[in-house]
Structure 1
Amino acid sequence: MQANFLLHLQHNWPLAAIALGLLLLVPIVLVTGVFPTNQGRVLRSEDPESYWRWVVGFALLSLACLVVLIGSYFLSAK
């Protein structure tokens, strides 16, 4: 089963790369307290409400990517 999942990741590498990037961004943001956006940086010390909104949004987006990736594996399993 593990080899099949690795093969599934190879076939779906764009989604796997996006999920990995999002998952790596969340801990970095939590440690630094700075969330980089296209509209500038959101600092936890200056605007905590907006900062946590961005963190929760990206955490949910990464969770959605993982659900799609794992769900597509189980749906394609024979």
Structure 2
Amino acid sequence: MQGVPPVGYIRGDDKKLVIVESEANLVRQIFNYAENGNGIPTIVRKLTGQKTRTGKAFTLTSINTILKNETYTGRII
């Protein structure tokens, strides 16, 4: 794995992705909201107070990026 790991993961010593459980729970919550029919703007509102890894608020773009990232399906691109 090269580059910045997606939310919910860090790069391990062997350069493979390792789950960060606290972040992974937030990612699961985002996917649960989406599966329950919530749109991206609604998900952003529901995450008010939650911060990204860089300490910023979640945006439409950041949620969209998470939902479209194939890494979360178990595939490494």
- Give the structure-1-normalised TM-score: 0.33
Q: Specify which structure has the bigger relative contact order, considering alpha-carbon pairs within 8 angstroms and separated by 6 or more residues.
A: 1
> Radius of gyration: which is bigger?
1
- Give the structure-2-normalised TM-score: 0.33
- Higher helix fraction: Structure 1 or Structure 2? 1
